[in-house]
Amino acid sequence: MNQQTVQSTGRETFREHFQQVQDRFSQNGQAWFLNARKAAFARFNELGFPTPKDEAWKHTNLRPLTEVEFEHPQGNLSTAGELLEGIVFHQFKAHRMVFVDGRFSEAHSDLENLPKGLTVIPLTKAFSSHRELVEKHLAKYAGEDENPAFVALNTALHEDGALIKVDKGTHIEDPIHLIFLSSSHEHPHSTHPRILVVAEEGSEATLVERYVGEQGSVYFTNTVAEAVLEDNAVLDHYRLQDESEDAFHIGTVQIELARDSQYRTHAISIGSKIGRNGIAAHLNGPGIECVMNGLFLTQDEQHIDNHTRVIHAEPHCHSHEVFKGILDGHSSGAFTGRIIVKEGAQKTDAIQSSKNLLLSDDAKITPDPQLEIFADDVKCTHGATIGQLDTDAIFYLKSRGIDEQSAKGLLTYAFANEIIEQIKIEPLREYLEQIIAERYRKGVH
């Protein structure tokens, strides 16, 4: 099957999905959004699936994804409870929304006792109850910087998601926890969750996204999150991609930041056969702080591709970016990070770093940090490292009575800890520590 045939088959599959989505939402509160859906699907058809010939996708071949004919899922609620029980930290204190195969499950969610000043509702309801807010922000930001074809596909096909609004001056203590479950089906299926966050002036909140599915299941998650932070707003954002290792995951995050706001994200990728994270932040006012941390663990033949973009449009802003990869087996990874400092964005302070640890001779990583600077009074640095475990450190630990396999596991954990120690949510931090301990406790080859 040639690439043109693959592209045609994939588009036809999603054309059927699009017709079903149109039929479902044409008679309810989402009817006003149908034109946007049609325009987005036309945009997807125009762009098509990206290939390695596209500069932004030169390190990732999506052919394994485009060869699969994905069905439109109906939502298998019968297995959701079992899947939830298998999520180690899902019961930590939080305002929790659960989505099964892309649709909100009220039975498995916990949105009781929301504090004053916090709105957390399914996007399907928000189209009616908060139409003005949704119309102002939804699909207004994502798609220009990262993953444009997949953002367009999500805009056309999303059936549900979350609207999160934090009112002016409101500080939310407990995290908002969104769990997206993909259940097992006889045939591969695809879902397209959408998230919209509006943090008003002076507000503070923590958002956790968790993506998980049954191991061995083949499915495709194509998720888009857009967040708008007004002056002095603060958002801590955790994303844990823990999909089936036979699944495909494309995640896009677009952040719009205003004066003196703060955004901190921790993007953790463990699962999926092919995973792609696209994170873009626009620093649209002075005094902004933007922190992007990432950690990905790959094994066997997994492939994870991280793309980031930070656009400094105004002076006196800070961005700090560290992405780390631990690669084993025949797995591969890529990191492409771009910092853009526009003319007039003086006193910019930007740091970008890609650090990678190869645990096998067959693992591969391609880092590509980039700077584009159009201002002259800035402090910007970027760099990338690729290495293996330090043999001298292994020898030292062995001299202290630690066996070689345990020594390698300790050093691997120490490498990841720069990211893990910054995670403020203890159950999430402990879960990642457990994953690393179990995966590398027998040492590496």
For 217-361, strand residue ranges (E) read 219-229, 234-242, 248-257, 262-269, 274-283, 289-298, 303-312, 318-327, 332-341, 349-358
Asked if residue 395 and residue 261 are part of one domain, the reply reads no
Q: pLDDT tens digits for 233-267?
A: 999 999 999 999 999 999 999 999 999 999 999 99
pLDDT of residue 443: 47
- What per-residue confidence (pLDDT) applies to 90? 58
pLDDT given for residue 438 in this prediction: 86
**Domain edge (last residue) among 256, 284, 312:** 284
Query: Is residue 295 a part of any domain in this protein?
Result: no
Please indicate, yes or no, if residue 307 is contained in any of the structural domains: no
What DSSP string runs through 327-396?
Answer: E-TT-EEEEEEEEEE-TT-TT-EEEEEEEEEE-STT-EEEEEEEEEE--SS-EEEEEEEEE---HHHHHH
pLDDT digits over 59-69, tens only?
999 999 999 99
Q: Which of 152-156, 159-163, 356-360, 440-444 has the lowest mean pLDDT?
A: 440-444
249 & 111 share domain: yes
The pLDDT, as a whole number, for residue 88 is 53
Same structural domain for residues 280 and 421?
Answer: no
Task: Please report how the helices 3-25 and 148-157 are oriented relative to each other, as an axis angle in degrees rounded to 10.
Answer: 30
Confidence class for position 442, pLDDT limits 50, 70, 90:
low
Q: How confident is the model at residue 83 (pLDDT cuts 50, 70, 90)?
A: confident
Domain boundary among 249, 284, 319: 284
The reply to whether 289 falls in a domain is no
Element (H, E) at 179: strand 176-182
Residues 323 and 289: their CA atoms lie apart, in Å, by 17
At 315 the pLDDT is 98
Residue 152 lies in a domain: yes
Segment among 107-121, 280-294, 392-406 with least mean pLDDT: 392-406
Residues 85-93 have a mean pLDDT of: 68
Clarify whether residues 396 and 272 are in a common domain. no
Tell me the average pLDDT of the chain.
92
Least confident of 2-16, 222-236, 425-439: 2-16
Among 284, 301, 329, the domain boundary falls at: 284
Q: Does residue 380 fall inside a structural domain? A: no
Q: What angle do CA 398, 400, 404 make, to 5 degrees?
A: 20
Q: How confident is the model at residue 73 (pLDDT cuts 50, 70, 90)?
A: confident
pLDDT digits (tens, 9 = 90+) for 303-317: 999 999 999 999 999
| pLDDT tens-digit readout, 150-184 | 999 999 999 999 999 999 999 999 999 999 999 87
Say what percent of the chain tops pLDDT 90: 79
Give 220's strand partners.
190, 248
No. of helices (H) and no. of strands (E), the chain: 10, 20
Residues 17 and 136 in one domain: yes
Same domain, 274 and 409: no
**What pLDDT is recorded for position 91?**
64
Total structural domains within the chain: 2
- CA torsion angle 406 412 415 419 (round to 10): -110
Residue 183: the pLDDT is: 84
Say what the pTM is.
0.94
Map tokens 């879960």 to a residue.
431
Q: What pLDDT, on the 0 to 100 scale, is given for residue 84?
A: 74
Whether residues 183 and 46 fall in one domain: yes
Residue 14 covered by a domain: yes
Confirm whether 53 is domain-assigned. Answer: yes
Whether residue 391 is predicted with pLDDT greater than 60 in this model: the reply is: yes
- Residue ranges making up the domain that contains 237: 3-284
With respect to residue 421, please indicate whether it lies within any of the assigned structural domains.
yes
User: Is the per-residue pLDDT at 8 higher than 60?
Assistant: no
pLDDT at 444: 46
